[in-house]
Amino acid sequence: MSILATARAVIEAEPVCDSCLGRVFADRSFGLSNAERGRGLRIAVALDDDEPDKPVDSAECWVCEGECGRFDEWAEQAVDALGEPAPEFETYQVGTKTPPLIEENDELLRLDAGLSEDAGELFKSNMNREVGKRIGRQTGTDVEFGRPDVQITLDIENDRVEAKLNSAFVYGRYRKLERDIPQTEWPCRECHGSGYKGKLACDYCDGTGYLYPESIEQLTAPVVMDVMDGTEATFHGAGREDVDARMLGTGRPFVIEIEEPHRRRIDTERLQGDINAFAEGKVEVEGLRLADYEMVERVKELDASKTYRAFVEFEDEVSNEQLQTAIEALDGARIEQYTPERVDHRRAGLTRIRDVLSADAKLEDARHAVVEIHGEGGLYIKELISGDNDRTEPSLAGLLSVGAVVTDLDVLAVEGVDEPFEREEYFIQ
């Protein structure tokens, strides 16, 4: 059947608006809106039949039940749903919840024309595009089909619009300059974060609800949330160091995710200064940049090698020759580590194989040394020194046949193979 004959069949069935008429043929012509396409077909059918043109008001359309005449109204409603003052955003996407009756009418429209179910364009696709174009013009923003700043949903059946602000992300690296600061909030295990045991203040955490009064998350995320005017902040780190270890040198990659941000166009250099001032020398951040959702997964999945500086105390005196011989044995060694005693309450009991990439040591005196280890991600350094009751083989203590413990530990570098964090395409410009 020709396009003209098919159009005539649709027009003669029941009153159908230009937009719904044009949708049937959306995959057969380009460069026009469905309403323009439908209007042209209606005129062509009237001329071919030598009859007067009979326009149909969208309110009379049996397919969309008048919704194709409300594009401007829906766009206005969508802009209003963003709230006042309107949030900052650059990209948006529109989705439509189509009522079952209109979905059924959409199928019948194609059946009446003798077309397949997927011919032309669906009602919801037409709504998304037409309302979306109007939202873009009103707000000066662009449509984005991946992960936009704003997701707008047209709920046709309930005549309402839902506007969701998607999260914003800030990437950087942190240095932890003081010990005994966890990466994220650490609720008290006795009161489970409430601060109370029964009606009395919890004596285990002094009623604070936390085992540690501050965390890297608490010293950074609230500042970002305040600047971006969000509702909640989540800290994502590329692994974590022990609570009693400092994170120095290159710092550790992290992303702070801000939910429902009303401000996205922020000065990251100023934000960096604000965070560092707020942290009062306990934590420093650097290299702050706006990032996208993909960066969260990249940070969390980073397979990084790490360089450590361990301050070691020996049970008995050790000579420099003994120490250097033991360190040479560890340099490049393959280590077998059964789950350490200190974490076996929260980690599965299994043997992990990790490589020492390099090792060096300096004897401070007969009972003390400074050891630097560059190891694969997941290598337990404290146990590499102590042996952890023979759970780690080989170990420095085992090679020396002298008890050894780490009194202080610093992480000097966290570096991934083919680390993506300085590549421009992963950041919002």
The reply to whether 304-416 shares the fold of 3-165 is no
Which residues are registered as beta bridge partners of 184?
Answer: none
Distance CA 177, CA 180 (A): 10
pTM: 0.86
pLDDT (average), residues 289-297 = 92
Distances 347 to 198, 333, 380 between C-alpha atoms, Å: 31, 24, 13
Q: What is the DSSP string of 22-61?
A: HHTTTTT--SS-HHHHHHHHHHHHHHHTT-------GGG-
Q: Report the b/e string of 168-177 with b at 16+ CB within 10 A.
A: bbbbbbbbbe
Distance CA 25, CA 4 (A): 10
pLDDT (average), residues 74-97 = 95
Distance CA 96, CA 18 (A): 20
Is 170 within 8 Å of 271 (Cβ atoms)?
yes
Distance CA 307, CA 248 (A): 10
Catalytic residues: 242
pLDDT tens for 119-135 read 889 999 999 999 999 99
pLDDT tens for 1-31 read 688 888 888 888 889 999 999 998 888 877 8
What residue segments make up the domains of the chain, in order of their start? 3-165, 168-302, 304-416
Task: Give the single-character DSSP code of 425.
Answer: G
The CATH code belonging to domain 168-302 is 3.30.70.2510
Assigned token pair, 2 = 């020709």
Q: Cα-atom radius of gyration of the chain, to the nearest Å?
A: 32
Task: Give the single-character DSSP code of 140.
Answer: T
Question: Can you give the pLDDT at residue 75?
Answer: 97
Percent of the chain, pLDDT > 90? 73
Question: Can you give the pLDDT at residue 392?
Answer: 96
pLDDT of 429 above 80 = no
pLDDT of 346 above 70 = no
Least reliable range by pLDDT among 48-62, 81-95, 311-325: 48-62
How would CATH label the architecture of 304-416?
Answer: 2-Layer Sandwich (3.30)
Assigned token pair, 40 = 């042209």
Q: Which CATH class is domain 3-165?
A: alpha beta
pLDDT tens for 366-394 read 999 999 999 999 999 999 999 999 999 99
Q: What share of the chain is helix, strand, coil (3-state, %, to 5)?
A: 35, 30, 40
